[in-house]
């Protein structure tokens, strides 16, 4: 990496505090009812993609709008961090089954001098045969919808972040099940106690302010899930992770909303503290080797990657989480 690129990143980061503070002032914390009732723009491609699921009743308008709110919020957060970043927004469709749509998604990827590569992807897919990783419920009709987020900053002083929220409906009639899952984790090369503590405090609050939240359990779940066996260490400093939580009423999805809003606000504050920090060529090179841990986990162990491939998802969207440049 050249010193010119390093200088450009630091120059582009200037003023990040004011930009992020403006983002916060324009995006106050919303409750479930408010977020799930926000109408999508009529030209949002996710509306057309999800239309068959909405018309059939497999997906509700409130569910779609809540997921889209989290996607849009985090897009705006990224824009406040890197206004020079170039966005690539692409729609994709899952292969049809017997001439019928099976949904698809929308990729939103930003590449810039501050956010070397970040993405906020949303998908709504369905089909006649659930691709169960554990083989339970395999072969039954299903619908999966969610938002996934990743950020790799240019500045090695700032951490990688990942977040995902999702809903899954499997089966039909009385035997059908409705689950949700999600979480977020932080992967810093340069570890700062202030960043780790604020990240965990934000998710702790997100969990404690919802009836289904269980921060101690979700934190432990995250530590165990993001452990890299072949390296004998965790991927980063953790966060929260949960899966297959039963959804019994609409506002249960408020937990996903809390996770999505917490990520936007707490990660934005961490970037506000770090992306203007000077760094050396040596530290940048070290970052590229550190990113290898992230790539290894996603390629070898991540269940989300496996599910995306097994369910016929878009290859580019599935691997959007990988770092832009890595060294081994």
**Tokens 């939103």 belong to which residue?**
108
Contact 265/24 with Cβ under 8 angstroms?
yes
Q: Give 208-214 contacts, CB < 8 A, sequence gap 24+.
A: 209/258, 210/254, 210/255, 210/258, 211/252, 212/245, 212/252, 212/255, 213/255, 213/258, 214/242
Q: Which residues contact 43 (CB under 8 A, 6 or more apart)?
A: none
For residues 297 and 303, give the distance between their C-alpha atoms in angstroms, rounded to a whole number: 10
Quickly count: other Cβ atoms within 10 Å of residue 227's Cβ: 15
Contact 141/171 with Cβ under 8 angstroms?
yes
Contact 212/245 with Cβ under 8 angstroms?
yes
For residues 120 and 127, give the distance between their C-alpha atoms in angstroms, rounded to a whole number: 23
Token pair in block for residue 144 = 């999966």
Active site (annotated) includes residue 301: no
Q: Of the residues 162, 200, 210, 265, which is catalytic?
A: 162
Q: Give the residue among 50, 32, 212, 201 at the shortest CA–CA distance from 122.
A: 50
**Tokens 């491939």 belong to which residue?**
309
- CA 252 to chain centroid: 19
Q: How far apart are the first and last CA of the chain?
A: 16
Token pair in block for residue 117 = 């590569």
For residues 7 and 323, give the distance between their C-alpha atoms in angstroms, rounded to a whole number: 21
- CA 310 to chain centroid: 19
For residues 115 and 130, give the distance between their C-alpha atoms in angstroms, rounded to a whole number: 35
Catalytic residues: 162
């Amino acid at each position: 990496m050249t010193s010119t690129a390093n200088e450009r990143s630091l120059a582009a980061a200037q003023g990040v505090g004011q930009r992020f503070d403006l983002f916060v002032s324009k995006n106050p914390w919303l409750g479930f009812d408010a977020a799930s009732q926000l109408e999508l723009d009529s030209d949002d491609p996710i509306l057309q993609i999800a239309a068959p699921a909405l018309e059939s009743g497999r997906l509700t308008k409130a569910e779609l709008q809540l997921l889209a709110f989290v996607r849009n919020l985090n897009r705006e957060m990224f824009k406040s961090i890197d206004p020079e970043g170039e966005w690539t927004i692409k729609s994709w469709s899952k292969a049809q089954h017997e001439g019928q749509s099976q949904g698809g998604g929308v990729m939103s990827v930003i590449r810039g001098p501050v956010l070397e590569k970040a993405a906020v992807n949303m998908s709504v897919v369905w089909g006649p045969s659930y691709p169960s990783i554990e083989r339970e419920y395999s072969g039954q009709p299903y619908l999966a919808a969610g938002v996934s987020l990743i950020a790799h900053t240019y500045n090695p002083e700032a951490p990688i972040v990942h977040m995902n929220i999702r809903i899954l409906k499997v089966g039909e009639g009385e035997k059908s099940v409705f689950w949700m899952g999600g979480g977020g984790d932080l992967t810093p090369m340069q570890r700062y106690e202030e960043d780790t503590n604020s990240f965990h405090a934000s998710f702790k609050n997100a969990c404690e302010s919802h009836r289904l939240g269980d921060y101690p359990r979700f934190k432990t779940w995250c530590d165990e899930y993001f452990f890299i066996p072949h390296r004998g260490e965790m991927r980063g400093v953790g966060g929260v992770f949960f899966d297959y939580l039963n959804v019994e009423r609409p506002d249960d999805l408020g937990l996903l909303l809390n996770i999505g809003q917490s990520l936007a606000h707490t990660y934005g504050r961490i970037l506000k503290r770090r992306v203007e920090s000077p760094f050396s060529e040596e530290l940048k090179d070290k970052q590229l080797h550190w990113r290898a841990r992230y790539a290894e986990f996603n390629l070898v162990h991540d269940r989300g990657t496996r599910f995306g491939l097994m369910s016929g998802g878009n290859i580019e969207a599935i691997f959007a989480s990988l770092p832009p440049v890595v060294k081994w």
